[in-house]
Structure 1
Amino acid sequence: MSPIRVLDPKIQNKIAAGEVVERPSSVIKELIENSVDANADEIEVFIEESGMKLMRIVDNGEGIHHTDGPLLFQRHATSKIDDDYDLFQIRSLGFRGEALASIGAVSKVKVETKHREGDPVLIQFEGGTLKEEMPGRERQGTDISISELFYNTPARLKYVKSMRTESGKIIDIVQKMALSQPHISFRLIVDHKERLLTKGNGNLKEVISDIYGINIARQAVKIEASDADFKLSGYAVRPEISRSHRNFIHTSVNNRHIRNFKLSQSVINAYHTLLAKDKYPIVIINVEMDPKLVDVNVHPSKVEVRFSKERELNTLVEQSIRNTLRNEMLIPDVSTGNSAPVDKTEQPAMDFSGAKKDALTEQIKRPESVEESDITRKTSLPYQTETKGVYGPDRNTAKQLQDDVAEFKGPEQSSSGSRDIKAMIDEPLEDSRSVKEKLPYLEIIGQLHGTYIIMQNESGMYMMDQHAAQERIKYEFYYDHINTEQDEGVPLLIPYNFEFPLDDIITIDEKLRDLRALGFEIDKTGIKQYSVTRHPSWIKEKNPEADIEDLIQFIARADNFSASKYREEMSIMMSCKQSIKANHYLDKAHMEALLSELRKCDSPYTCPHGRPVIIHMTTYEIERMFNRIMK
């Protein structure tokens, strides 16, 4: 073995570049962070050939003093920290002093900068070597160009994806930076075409509009919450708009974009039962906290972080988003709502063949009554309310629509036809969404195919899925009762005795405490035998012994059993099994009773599986379909 020696600085920088500079988007991220730390409020990004030919970042920040030019591309040279104590209170986005050294080691760099107290300077750096230093232009800020990335490390080029993929990564990085820094104006030019432009006026909702579009921005609900350690701010988009992956959950800490699985999972949990399976929300949230509570020095990319009070933070995020959505009216409009989930197991398709025609006709003439377990209380007259006027006058005529559009225009722009985006997105859907009641006044008209209840009010027509509605009602009932810790349970005169295979015995023994936490009195009576002398009162199935055995086997199979998780799954299962099915005809009284019970629900807009309970079609949409209003 050859003797130990210190590697040449050029080789050190190339090795470090493998950690910091993974692809062109990594370069863009590091350079934008430097511009943000320089207090720039305007940042322009120019890209050619997905960054492989040219990446250029221009800002109007403080600039670099001409005397610091020789240190720019030296490893661990930084102005962000002075001693080891600063690592515990990092407020800047960059601090490691590795980015420029790593970038300069694998590319050709030109930096033109001017500090407000220094002279302008132009520096050219190539492959880790300073090539030229000369006076630059009299322009406040920094203009840095990166060309021929990985020109001296051809092996790295093999791992660069297609040009479209790399461009997408760069756009994603700039968008995330814009969402994290709404007070900075970002402009992105890709192959001489402008892809993004934000105003930088501090209005996060305008940035959401610039990136995701006006429709999504109008559906965004403001989030504000705080406790002794954390302060949350941002926006959560109503669940009627969702995505098939979690990439639209944007989290940042002290305006630094981060990735943290548990924090993202808390956001997803806040939308529980509001979104269908495999659907994810659009959320932009920033957490302000003491830098001592977060460690950003986990990975060279500075995207992965660790929290000191992670559980408290996750709880605050989940509860604040859930409470915010709970105060919103979440009935989706037909024109904007998502389609219902594909998987639908609780009801079969209707058969309109001649064989069933007479039966259906007879059912319509003589509506079936709901089972006593479904509607148990005495029903009253159709639901009426004196707050009908709260929902405003009829807004569905063409004239009123024009007034709405004019209302969104700025005072100096209404006549010109151009729109003020800020006015359009600042107070979206205020007429109906800000109402405190969970459901508006609804008048029942009738029933469609024994499955959907048709209703109306001054804003249009509503359709309610009777199965999904009662599923939500029963889910909340069971969830409240199953989660009652003081459940005295049902004592058994004759205990239930169970015997399980030896493979499950060890696991069941370890989880007897979990079973008792659910309200069971269970004891081991033999090598493979168990005896249950009490079970929770919420088990009311026809065959409770089989249900208890299934529960024990469920716990034995679960790697990390959670009593709350099982209560949740049990509530969903029981509510689905005991709710009204399709082709079940109701009379007016039963429909009124169902609607009245739904009004009492905490979240009456979706079933436990995330399917919509009620959908809305405005009068304007209906009249437009009949050509009573021309587009």
Structure 2
Amino acid sequence: MGQIHVLPAHIQNKIAAGEVVERPSSIVKEIVENSLDAGSTVVEVFIKNSGMESIKVVDNGHGIDYEDRTLLFERHATSKIDTAYELFEIRSLGFRGEALASIGAVSKVTLESMQGDSTPFKIVYSGGKYDEDTVWHERRGTIIEIEDLFFNTPARLKYIKNLRTEAGKIIDIMQRMALNYPEVSFRLVFDGKDRFKTTGNGNLKEVINILYGIQVSSNTLEVHAESPDYTIDGYIVRPEVTRSNRNYINLSINNRHVRHFKLSQSIINAYHTLQPKDKYPLAFLNIRMDPKLIDVNVHPSKVEVKLSKETELLKLMEAAVKEALMETELIPEVAHRKPKQQKPEQSAIDFTERHDKIREHIDTYEPPARQLPKQTFTEPRKETEKEQMTRRRVTEKPETTYTSPFKQTEKIQPQPKQKDTPSFAGHEPLPEKEKLPYLEIIGQLHGTYIIMQNETGMYLMDQHAAQERIKYEYIYANIIKEADGIPLLIPYTFEFSFDDVITIDEKLAELQSLGFDIEKSGIKQYTVSRYPSWIKADNPEEDINDLIDFISQTDNFDVKKYREEMSIMMSCKQSIKANHYLDKNQMAALLEELGKCYSPYTCPHGRPVIIHMTTYEIERLFNRIMK
């Protein structure tokens, strides 16, 4: 007698629930997605005991037809697709038809709905069985409540973590929904207390403020980029605002939240050297594309996706974020911190502009009589001082020579940016723009910080960080020159083990891209006739041997990453240190070189090079402004 048989429907649903309904937040996600697919403009979610006691979702969508009520808890019953072809161009958030069947198999579900002029109804479905099916009160939209989650699956109930963790997961899901649909009003209530509520007016920046606060929303930078296949819109946050993990990189595709490591990494790469190590940016970006270019049918959660033309999208994303960052002055400001008790109530905020409490007063602030007239900042009093002052608006100048403790008899030839200027470190050249404001050098503090001023206030520049950035960009630009190198009259010959020979043979091209002329001269021997000019040790033969050995033992050697690490290390070692006093000419030369950098705002480690303290803030510290 045969042993194979088809499992009953209620067992099938419990099995499916293991993938679809992992925890309370999974239920919230599935039900809210159904509300959004139903065209809801208002979605309210009520949670009791972190979802273990009750999850209730109320929406004003188009509702469910009375005739369809008997199919609601059937597996693979859906109104969102009709043919197999539609799986290749999914335009709705849900489509698998598994959510309600899986939820109903492990909980008690009460559902009320009405569509248009059809009959309103109420259904109670518990543990895979109908308990009640009645005509109900008229109310357009749907109300669904899930109670006693996992009451009949004790193993899954035991798996649930502490209630605080589950609450955090639900909040995260709802925040991402609100960010993806700013035109929908969301309300989240925990045990009778509102956690957040959005207005649904379509203003993404306002949603960011509600969810993350004024510090984040006031530091956002708009991002927009287009290609024939993709459009990217949204906001990123200035580099001085960071987080300790990448969970704050919010990515969506066609308004569907997705997790995509490579896309997140492309955003992190765009912030390269603008943030400290182990710190991550905040981003709120949506990608629009033809649904045919994305496969969301990878996992029941529909968060993991596969993309066509992925490489093109990664390049567009990184370039879009870089452009937004490089078109903005990224000098952080020292903000005045008010005592908590003096914090004013804020009734309304205009989110179309950056709302920094400091900047609100700069334009209207009238400096006291003792302050130098404005023209002293823009027009020097004497011609001799003009030569000493740093001017960011660089023009053609004759070649000059100066000596300083951080560069010995180095020639500085200012070169204005042109459209055909080579890009630095893989960055595309941007339109010519002044990246630093005009600054007048005043002096030096503790042989470490250069004090400067202009009409907006005082600036402090870290001389070590400034030259570290200058040298980093210079060294990196020279390391990537394949033809650059030092020829050897007598070539070096190296011998390696048979195990290393196979690897070195595979990586000869990578060694040559670093500036080596290296050829195989025997079964285990290699001859080097040219080595990179940036290897300046007393014993270059030893350094070359160590480098080849390092590359041969590295499974995933990345030439770009190696150049990067080498450039950072060399720039740090060669830069001027703290407690080293400079004269005014040397300070001016340093500032002028910094102004030519692609990104003059941070050192290669992500520390700020220049910070700004406004005149308004200085006056506050001396109690000249009592506001």
Is the pair's TM-score, using the shorter chain for normalization, greater than 0.5? yes
- 1:378 Cα shift? 6.2
- 1:541 Cα shift? 4.9
Q: Does structure 1 conserve the Cα–Cα contact (< 8 Å) formed by 2:406 and 2:575?
A: no
Q: Does structure 2 conserve the Cα–Cα contact (< 8 Å) formed by 1:81 and 1:87?
A: yes
Q: Does structure 2 conserve the Cα–Cα contact (< 8 Å) formed by 1:375 and 1:593?
A: no
The secondary structure found in structure 2 opposite 1:58 is: strand
1:482 to 459, 471, 479: 479
Which residue is 1:346 aligned to? Answer: none
The 2-side partners of 1:127 and 1:44 are apart by 25
Say if 1:569 and 1:593 are closer, same or farther in 2 by CA, change over 3 A.
Answer: same
- 1:214 Cα shift? 1.6
Which residue is 2:146 aligned to? Answer: 146
Say if 1:513 and 1:379 are closer, same or farther in 2 by CA, change over 3 A.
Answer: closer
Which residue is 1:525 aligned to? Answer: 521
Say if 1:546 and 1:446 are closer, same or farther in 2 by CA, change over 3 A.
Answer: farther
1:574 to 570, 575, 591: 570
The secondary structure found in structure 2 opposite 1:292 is: helix
Tell me whether 1:107 sits opposite 2:107 in the alignment. yes
Which residue is 2:97 aligned to? Answer: 97
- 1:574 Cα shift? 1.9
Give a deviation string over 1:348-398, Cα, whole Å, max 9, x none.
xxxxxxxxxxxxxxxxxxxx9624736613699xxxxxxxxxxxxxxxxxx
Q: Residue type matched to 1:509 in 2?
A: D
Say if 1:98 and 1:559 are closer, same or farther in 2 by CA, change over 3 A.
Answer: same
Structure 1: runs of 5 or more not aligned: 338-367, 381-434
Q: Does structure 1 conserve the Cα–Cα contact (< 8 Å) formed by 2:406 and 2:576?
A: no
TM-score by length of 1: 0.83
**1:242-257 to 2 correspondences below 5 Å:** 242-257=242-257
Q: Residue type matched to 1:5 in 2?
A: H
Q: Which moved more, 1:36-45 or 1:616-625?
A: 616-625
Say if 1:547 and 1:557 are closer, same or farther in 2 by CA, change over 3 A.
Answer: same
The secondary structure found in structure 1 opposite 2:410 is: coil
Give a deviation string over 1:491-521, Cα, whole Å, max 9, x none.
2212123334454333222211211122311
Q: Residue type matched to 2:70 in 1?
A: P
Q: How many residue pairs end up in the alignment?
A: 546
Structure 2: runs of 5 or more not aligned: 338-401, 415-431
Q: Does structure 2 conserve the Cα–Cα contact (< 8 Å) formed by 1:37 and 1:93?
A: yes
Say if 1:450 and 1:314 are closer, same or farther in 2 by CA, change over 3 A.
Answer: same
- 1:309 Cα shift? 1.1
Tell me whether 1:70 sits opposite 2:91 in the alignment. no
The 2-side partners of 1:533 and 1:173 are apart by 59
Q: Does structure 2 conserve the Cα–Cα contact (< 8 Å) formed by 1:328 and 1:436?
A: no
Note the aligned Cα RMSD (angstroms).
2.0
The 2-side partners of 1:133 and 1:611 are apart by 64
- 1:575 Cα shift? 1.3
Which residue is 1:460 aligned to? Answer: 457
Tell me whether 1:373 sits opposite 2:369 in the alignment. no
Which residue is 1:192 aligned to? Answer: 192
- 1:436 Cα shift? 4.6
Q: Does structure 1 conserve the Cα–Cα contact (< 8 Å) formed by 2:336 and 2:617?
A: no
The 2-side partners of 1:156 and 1:22 are apart by 8
Q: Does structure 2 conserve the Cα–Cα contact (< 8 Å) formed by 1:459 and 1:619?
A: yes
Q: Which moved more, 1:88-97 or 1:328-337?
A: 328-337
Give a deviation string over 1:116-159, Cα, whole Å, max 9, x none.
14121111111111111111221111110011101111111111
Which residue is 1:51 aligned to? Answer: 51
Which residue is 1:135 aligned to? Answer: 135
The 1-side partners of 2:516 and 2:74 are apart by 66
The 2-side partners of 1:84 and 1:438 are apart by 53
The 2-side partners of 1:184 and 1:615 are apart by 39
- 1:481 Cα shift? 2.4
- 1:336 Cα shift? 8.6
Tell me whether 1:437 sits opposite 2:471 in the alignment. no
The 1-side partners of 2:67 and 2:119 are apart by 9
Q: Does structure 1 conserve the Cα–Cα contact (< 8 Å) formed by 2:457 and 2:615?
A: yes
- 1:99 Cα shift? 0.3
Which residue is 1:545 aligned to? Answer: 541
Which residue is 1:387 aligned to? Answer: none
Q: Does structure 1 conserve the Cα–Cα contact (< 8 Å) formed by 2:276 and 2:607?
A: yes
Give a deviation string over 1:459-486, Cα, whole Å, max 9, x none.
222111111101111111122222235x
Say if 1:336 and 1:259 are closer, same or farther in 2 by CA, change over 3 A.
Answer: farther
The 2-side partners of 1:456 and 1:557 are apart by 51
Q: Does structure 2 conserve the Cα–Cα contact (< 8 Å) formed by 1:379 and 1:592?
A: no
Which residue is 1:469 aligned to? Answer: 466
Q: Does structure 1 conserve the Cα–Cα contact (< 8 Å) formed by 2:57 and 2:145?
A: yes
- 1:595 Cα shift? 0.3
- 1:443 Cα shift? 1.3
Which residue is 2:26 aligned to? Answer: 26
Q: Does structure 1 conserve the Cα–Cα contact (< 8 Å) formed by 2:112 and 2:136?
A: yes
Q: Residue type matched to 1:511 in 2?
A: K
Which residue is 2:371 aligned to? Answer: none
Q: Does structure 2 conserve the Cα–Cα contact (< 8 Å) formed by 1:468 and 1:611?
A: yes
Q: Does structure 1 conserve the Cα–Cα contact (< 8 Å) formed by 2:244 and 2:279?
A: yes
The 1-side partners of 2:473 and 2:258 are apart by 35
The 1-side partners of 2:86 and 2:499 are apart by 54
Which residue is 1:389 aligned to? Answer: none
The 1-side partners of 2:192 and 2:110 are apart by 20
Which residue is 1:448 aligned to? Answer: 445
